[in-house]
C-alpha cells in the first residue's frame, strides 16, 4: 500500500495512485489543482466538511450513480453525463437545478489527463444550466476494482412548476409526447464500447443534454404538465411501463409515431435490439392533458434540441398496468418490461 503522506507532488504523477485518495498532500493537490480549479464554487473553496445553503420554497432532491464504459463517447463523457443525468432528474421533478454534490471513485492507474478532461466537461455542463457544485469527495480504489471512474451525484433544485409532477397525476386520455428521437445515446455508447464500426450507415452521437430548456418552454407555453420522465436505462418502453404501473393506467403507444433516427434504427436492426428499450440521456417523456398537447408539441418543436418532438401515444383506462403498442398492421402487442438488459441476439 502506498504511503498516504508521500510528499511526492501531484504533478509528478501522470496517473491516479492510491495516495490520491489517502488524505495527504498528494490528495490535497489533486483537489486544489484539478477539482477546485474546475468547479471553483465558494462553498467548495471553503474546504469544509460540507456546504451550507439557503433554501426557500419547494426543494427537489435527486441522487444517482454513474458508470459508463467507455468513459468518453461521441457526444459526451461520464462527467457531462453525471450533470445531465442529475439535471434531468430534477427537471422531471419540475425543478430548475441549483446545487449539486459529487463523489468520485477513481481507479488506480486512471490517466490524470483523462480525469482532468472529465472534470472539465462536468464543470462546463454544470455552468450551462447554472448549477453550482458545492461539495465533493474523492476515493481511490486499487487497480482492477473500479472501471476508471465512478461518479455519484446528488442534485438540488428549486421547483418551478405550479404543482408537483407525479405519475399519480397521469389520467386516462392524457397525451404522451417525447422530446426527440429515442435510442441515440444507448446505440452511440454500445457501438463505441464494442468497437463496432457501422460507419456505412451514418454517425452516432449520444443525445446526452440538459432538458431544462424543454421544461422552461413547456411552462412558458402554459401547458398543464402531469408528469415528466427521462427515458434512461430501459428506454421509452420501460418509462411507459413504470408510469402504467404507478398510475394504474394503460398506455397506448403508436409504434410508427415514435421518432427514431434512421441510422439508429439500422444499427438496432443489425444488433438485434429494439430502439424502444435503448437509453436516452437528453430526452423527456411528457404527459399532458389532451387539449394541451398541440401547444406542448409546438413549444417543444420551437426549442433547440427538441425540434423532433412527437406525440407517440395516449393514456388509457383499459389495460391498466400495461403498455400496448399498436403496429402499423393494425395489430397490438404488449410492450413489456425487459427481464434484464438487452443482449445482442445470436442471429
Give contact residues for another protein (rule: CB under 8 A).
Answer: 194, 196, 262, 265-266, 269, 271, 319, 322, 324, 327-334, 336, 339-340, 343-347
Closest CA to 102 of 136, 60, 150, 61: 136
Question: In terms of CB distance, is 124 or 262 closer to another protein?
Answer: 262
Smallest separation, CB 47 to another protein (Å): 41
Smallest separation, CB 69 to another protein (Å): 13
Question: In terms of CB distance, is 83 or 324 closer to another protein?
Answer: 324
Question: In terms of CB distance, is 290 or 336 closer to another protein?
Answer: 336
Give the 3-state secondary structure of 56-74.
Answer: CCCEEEEEEEECCCCCEEC
Q: Are 159 and 57 in contact (CB under 8 A)?
A: yes
Name, in order, each residue with C-beta under 8 angstroms of 48's C-beta and a sequence gap of 6 or more: none
Smallest separation, CB 338 to another protein (Å): 8
Question: In terms of CB distance, is 45 or 333 closer to another protein?
Answer: 333
Closest CA to 259 of 238, 243, 241, 235: 235
Smallest separation, CB 307 to another protein (Å): 23
Name 316's bridge partners.
250
Question: In terms of CB distance, is 158 or 265 closer to another protein?
Answer: 265
d(CA 250, CA 322): 5
**What are the two backbone dihedrals, phi and then psi, of residue 59, each rounded to the nearest 5 degrees?**
-115, 135
Smallest separation, CB 183 to another protein (Å): 14
As given in the structure block, the three cell numbers for residue 38 are 474546475
d(CA 223, CA 175): 12
Question: In terms of CB distance, is 5 or 327 closer to another protein?
Answer: 327
Smallest separation, CB 160 to another protein (Å): 38
Question: In terms of CB distance, is 243 or 324 closer to another protein?
Answer: 324
Smallest separation, CB 222 to another protein (Å): 36
Burial 137-158 (b: 16+ CB within 10 A, else e): ebebbeeeebbbbbbbbbbbbb
Smallest separation, CB 172 to another protein (Å): 17
CA dist 131 → 164, 212, 222, 267 (Å):
21, 11, 25, 35
Question: In terms of CB distance, is 87 or 182 closer to another protein?
Answer: 182
As given in the structure block, the three cell numbers for residue 242 are 413504470
Question: In terms of CB distance, is 145 or 333 closer to another protein?
Answer: 333
Neighbours of 245 (CB within 10 A): 15
CA dist 118 → 73, 122, 228, 293 (Å):
11, 6, 28, 38
Smallest separation, CB 330 to another protein (Å): 7
Burial class of residue 64 (count of CB atoms within 10 Å of its CB; 0-12, 13-18, 19+): middle
Amino acid at each position: 500500500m502506498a504511503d498516504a503522506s508521500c510528499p511526492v507532488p501531484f504533478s509528478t504523477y501522470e496517473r491516479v495512485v492510491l495516495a490520491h485518495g489517502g488524505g495527504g498532500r498528494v490528495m490535497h493537490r489533486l483537489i486544489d489543482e484539478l477539482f477546485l480549479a474546475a468547479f471553483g464554487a465558494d462553498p467548495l473553496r471553503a474546504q469544509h466538511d460540507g456546504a451550507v445553503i439557503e433554501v426557500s420554497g419547494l426543494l427537489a432532491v435527486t441522487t444517482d450513480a454513474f458508470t459508463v464504459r467507455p468513459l468518453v463517447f461521441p457526444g459526451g463523457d461520464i462527467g457531462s453525463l453525471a450533470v445531465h443525468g442529475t439535471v434531468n432528474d430534477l427537471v422531471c421533478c419540475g425543478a430548475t437545478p441549483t446545487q449539486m454534490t459529487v463523489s468520485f471513485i477513481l481507479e488506480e492507474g486512471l490517466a490524470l489527463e483523462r480525469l482532468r478532461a472529465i472534470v472539465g466537461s462536468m464543470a462546463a455542463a454544470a455552468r450551462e444550466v447554472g448549477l453550482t457544485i458545492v461539495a465533493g469527495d474523492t476515493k481511490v480504489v486499487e487497480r482492477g476494482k473500479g472501471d476508471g471512474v465512478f461518479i455519484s451525484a446528488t442534485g438540488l433544485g428549486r421547483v418551478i412548476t405550479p404543482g408537483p409532477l407525479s405519475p399519480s397525476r397521469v389520467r386516462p386520455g392524457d397525451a404522451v409526447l417525447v422530446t426527440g428521437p429515442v435510442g441515440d445515446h444507448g446505440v452511440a455508447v454500445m457501438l463505441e464500447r464494442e468497437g463496432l464500426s457501422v460507419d456505412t450507415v451514418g454517425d452516432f452521437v449520444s443525445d446526452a443534454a440538459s432538458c431544462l430548456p424543454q421544461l422552461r418552454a413547456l411552462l412558458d407555453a402554459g401547458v398543464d404538465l402531469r408528469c415528466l420522465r427521462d427515458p434512461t436505462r430501459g428506454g421509452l418502453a420501460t418509462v411507459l411501463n413504470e408510469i402504467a404501473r404507478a398510475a394504474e393506467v394503460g398506455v397506448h403507444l403508436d409504434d410508427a409515431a415514435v421518432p427514431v433516427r434512421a441510422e439508429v434504427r439500422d444499427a438496432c436492426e443489425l444488433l438485434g435490439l429494439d430502439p424502444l428499450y435503448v437509453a436516452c440521456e437528453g430526452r423527456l417523456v411528457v404527459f399532458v392533458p389532451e387539449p394541451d398537447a398541440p401547444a406542448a408539441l409546438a413549444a417543444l418543436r420551437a426549442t433547440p434540441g427538441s425540434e423532433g418532438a412527437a406525440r407517440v401515444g395516449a393514456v388509457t383506462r383499459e389495460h391498466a398496468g400495461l403498455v400496448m403498442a399498436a403496429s402499423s398492421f393494425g395489430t397490438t402487442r404488449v410492450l413489456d418490461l425487459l427481464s434484464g438488459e438487452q443482449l445482442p441476439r445470436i442471429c
